[in-house]
Amino acid sequence: MDQAQARSWLAVAVAEARAGLAEGGIPIGAALFGADGTLLGRGHNRRVQDDDPSVHAETAAFRAAGRQRSYRGTTMVTTLSPCWYCSGLVRQFGISRVVIGEAVTFHGGHDWLAEHGVEIVLFDDADCVAMMREFIRERPELWHEDIGA
Amino acid sequence: MDQAQARSWLAVAVAEARAGLAEGGIPIGAALFGADGTLLGRGHNRRVQDDDPSVHAETAAFRAAGRQRSYRGTTMVTTLSPCWYCSGLVRQFGISRVVIGEAVTFHGGHDWLAEHGVEIVLFDDADCVAMMREFIRERPELWHEDIGA
């Protein structure tokens, strides 16, 4: 895909991550875009805010998009490599593409998704890396809880 | 694990599935049990009821269990073989065991979970099969929507 477009979509996910951080939450954000580029849903991790372990950034964006008959051509944009839970979501629903801010601080299931035909656009975004590095340093127990480590 | 215990746990998931069906929803139920056998959370698919595609039975039970520091020794019980989304949940959070009512009407990711060290107890429960068969026959479009097919 067009790198400038991927960058502009990533900015939406980054804004979600920063909103989550400002709420005292885990700074991971995501957004789901339709095949025509429409923003279908956006969200961020809300483990802390809602006391809900099931709301990862990607599942929040997926939920916000509401019921869709098909995910063909859609793109999930996330600030961080998707964990197995969120990678499973992408595979099960046939989301076509995943744009990832970084996979330096956490390497999830995006290689597995690529093997199964999902297009992966992986950035090494310095702002995304710095945001997660700082969060993991300050709140390691919360980060480990969020990924079941 | 003890088969009688697995059967009694499955009954909780089946009750959830029937509750979902009675609400006009997709009849899949689940429950998460702790290492000591305590029921941590139970739930059912609520795509229709909440207009929310992210609430599969397993994610509902996981959410109902609240935040847990560790899932070591826990068992996810579900009426139906877990889809990739729910299989990813099990793998990411290190849920130790999955008890499955049936994998006849839908074969999800349980083989993959077994490869990754999750204990799988798979029944071929006639009631579970009949419930899903009837649902799929009556509401094929809803079923396909729920698994992204």
DSSP code at position B10: H
Per-residue confidence (pLDDT) for residue B30, from 0 to 100: 98
A147: left (phi over 0), alpha (psi -120 to 50) or beta: alpha
Q: Within chain A, which residues score under 50 in pLDDT? A: none
Identity of residue A136: I
The residue of chain A nearest to residue B92, with distances taken between CA atoms, is A84
Q: How confident is the model at residue B149 (pLDDT cuts 50, 70, 90)?
A: confident
- Determine the angle formed by the axes of helices B84-93 and A84-93, rounding to 10 degrees: 170
Active centre residues of B (catalytic): 58
DSSP H or E run through B43: strand B39-44
Distance between CA atoms of B30 and A10, rounded to whole angstroms?
35
Contact yes or no for A32/A75 (Cβ under 8 A): yes
Mean pLDDT value across chain A: 97
What is the CB neighbour count within 10 angstroms for residue B147? 16
Which value does ipTM take for this structure? 0.96
Q: How confident is the model at residue B3 (pLDDT cuts 50, 70, 90)?
A: very high
Residues in chain A: 149
Q: Other CB atoms closer than 10 Å to residue A23's CB: what's the count?
A: 14
Predicted local confidence at residue A117, as pLDDT:
98
pTM: 0.97
Contact A88 B93 (CB under 8 A): no
Q: How far is the C-alpha of A47 from the C-alpha of A51, rounded, in Å?
A: 5
The mean per-residue pLDDT over the stretch B34-55 comes to 97
Residue in chain B closest to A72 (alpha carbons) equals B148
pLDDT of residue A149: 87
Q: Which amino acid is at A109?
A: G
Asked if B111 reaches chain A (Cβ–Cβ under 8 Å), the answer is no
CB contact under 8 A, A145 and B89: no
Q: Is the pLDDT of residue B135 over 90?
A: yes
Query: Which of chain A's residues have a Cβ under 8 Å away from the Cβ of B94?
Result: 148
* Cα B9 from chain centroid (whole Å): 11
- Quick check: A52 contacting B, CB < 8 Å? yes
| CA distances for B88 relative to A10, A12, A48, A111, B94, angstroms | 24, 25, 21, 14, 10
A45: contact with B, CB 8 A cutoff? no
Q: Which of A51, A68, A69 sits opposite B67 (nearest CB)?
A: A51
Q: Is B67 on the interface with A (CB under 8 A)?
A: yes
In angstroms, the CA B119 to CA B105 distance is 21
| Helix/strand/coil percent split, chain B, to 5 | 45, 15, 40
Residue A3: what pLDDT?
93
Please tell me the predicted confidence (pLDDT) of residue A134.
98
